Structure 1
Amino acid sequence: MTPSDNAPRRVVVTGAARGIGAAIAGAFVAEGDQVVLVDRAPDVADTAADLGAKSAVCDLGDPDDARRGISEAIDTLDGIDVLVNNAGVFEIVPLLDIEAEQWSRMFDINTRSMLLTTQVAARRMIDQGTGGRIVNMASMGGKDPARGQSHYAASKAAVIALTQATAKELGEYQITANSLCPGYVLTEMGADTRTPEMVAGWSSLSPLGRCGSPDDVAAMAVFLASPSAAYLTGQAFNVTGGMIMH
């Protein structure tokens, strides 16, 4: 796979200024890995400093800047072993009200950015000749769309398909690609709009009786980068507490 099992991995995490991305970055740092956090928000530097990691600022919705930012992050690490494509956007809009621009923006950030970052990272992994791991953030919505999430759900279903195609094309280089499909995860985003009643309703969808935490998702990302996951590729793993089981 990547370096020897005991060597620090070189990890790039996008959308890492806060929330799930920051938790994933922190989990890799806790493993002793070298990590660069990538985000459009300048305060990603503060998050990285708190974790003892590095950072790069770029707009993944802009193709040229996405390539530049990921290349910069990889150069900072002098290579790459793990790419976690976590960056994404979310909004609720009724199907009949979605504008073409909203649809395009959703796919530009949630899906196209993953293609671009994967192209840059995979070329470096291939040149290194040591394999690598790619983990893409999809969503439960990519398998079981909710009302008002047509463009979001479609973009995440596309992530699942892109991940499968990536696994098939890059497997010969010992590069694995898997996607994560979180359910309801309580992060800072949306905290000011959700109510205790909403959280209780979401929690009731899980046999475990709770919503997910960023740490739940981070643990799965770290696992997929571990030696134990060396034979897993092309999969879309539910991290939903049983909210969906397919």
Structure 2
Amino acid sequence: MTSPEAPPRRVVVTGAARGIGASIAAAFVAAGDQVVLLDRSAVVADTAADLGAKSVTCDLADPVDARRGTAEAIDTVGGVDVLVNNAGVFEIVPLLEIDADQWSRMFDVNTRSMLLTIQVAARRMIEQGTGGRIVNMASMGGKDGEAGQAHYAASKAAVISLTQVAAKELGAHQITVNSICPGYVLTEMGADTRTPEMVAGWSAKSPLGRCGSPDDVAAMAVHLASPSAAYLTGQAFNVTGGMIMH
């Protein structure tokens, strides 16, 4: 939680209309921060209103709109102290069936959009001169790619590498950059095709015997933006319940 002496942090969360992004936004609001939710879905306005936050609608797959939307979100709260890049897409396609458009779409949303939002936010953080925190959503799949996820896994591995480079280049400005690698997290996405047997199989992969929740991931995002995480940068933190341990 933001201390009584410290002003509320200005936080931008992408892909925040629902699921993990909405939980991250809610956690920062609960900490007393000024939060802007960014998403291409018009639902983001309702989510933000329910939280008492602000929202901006934009398509992060479009480079021009990604820059415009990020800048607008930052201006909405008069600056940026924390950027959480959560926007992303997922699909399962066998390796030999992935076409060029599917590959490009995956990287446009999952990787290129992060580069663009980081560029806009980091420039503002540098101008402000007070440092900042950037948290990028990678995936367990970025470390251990699974069958049927070649383009997704590759895009998330790229997020991990992008995070490391950004941490090295922005560290002199006291901007930390880290990534989060969630495992199986139960959200409304895919709920219509998710069976109890599937959930049981995923849960069995964790020593804790369960899948993750959006709140599990949100807790890590808030921690990485906290004063106690000031010396953490360039890392890819697993939030997998022990499904992977490297």
Q: Name the TM tier (shorter chain).
A: over 0.9
Aligned counterpart, 1:56: 56
Q: Does structure 2 retain, via aligned residues, the 8 Å contact 1:3–1:9?
A: no
Residue type matched to 1:238 in 2?
N
| Cα displacement (A) at 1:116 | 0.2
Question: How far is the alpha carbon of 1:7 from its aligned partner?
Answer: 2.0
Query: SS where residue 88 of structure 2 aligns?
Result: coil
1:107 is the counterpart of 2:107: yes
Letter in 1 for 2:27: A
Aligned to 1:184: 184
User: What residue is the counterpart of 2:213 in the other structure?
Assistant: 213
Q: Is 1:136 aligned to 2:136, yes or no?
A: yes
Q: How many residues align?
A: 245
1:87-98 aligned at under 5 Å gives the runs: 87-98=87-98
CA contact (8 A) 1:3 1:130 kept: no
Query: In structure 2, how many angstroms separate the alpha carbons of the residues matched to 1:83 and 1:77?
Result: 13
TM-superposition CA deviations, 1:83-133 (whole Å, max 9, x none) = 000000000000000000000000000000000000000000000000000
1:3 CA drift (Å): 10
Task: Write the mapping of 1:160-179 to structure 2, written as runs, cut at 5 A.
Answer: 160-179=160-179
SS in 2 for 1:200: helix
CA distance in 1, matches of 2:48, 2:62: 23
Deviations 1:154-190 (A, max 9, x none): 0000000000000000000000000000000000000
Equivalent residue, structure 1, for 2:67: 67
Q: Which residues of structure 1 form unaligned runs of 5+?
A: none
TM superposition outliers: structure 1 runs of 4+ over 6 Å:
2-5
In the alignment, the residues of structure 2 paired with residue 243 and residue 64 of structure 1 have an alpha-carbon distance, to the nearest angstrom, of 38
Confirm whether residue 228 of structure 1 aligns to residue 228 of structure 2: yes
What is the distance in 2 between the residues matched to 1:144 and 1:52?
38
| Alpha-carbon distance in structure 1 between the residues aligned to 2:144 and 2:29 | 33
Equivalent pair of 1:29/1:53 in contact (CA under 8 Å)? yes
Amino acid at match of 1:192: D
Write out aligned runs for 1:70-85 (5 A).
70-85=70-85
Correspondence for 1:244 = 244
CA drift of 1:43 comes to: 1.1
Could you say which residue in structure 1 is the equivalent of 2:201?
201
Q: CA deviation at 1:4?
A: 9.2
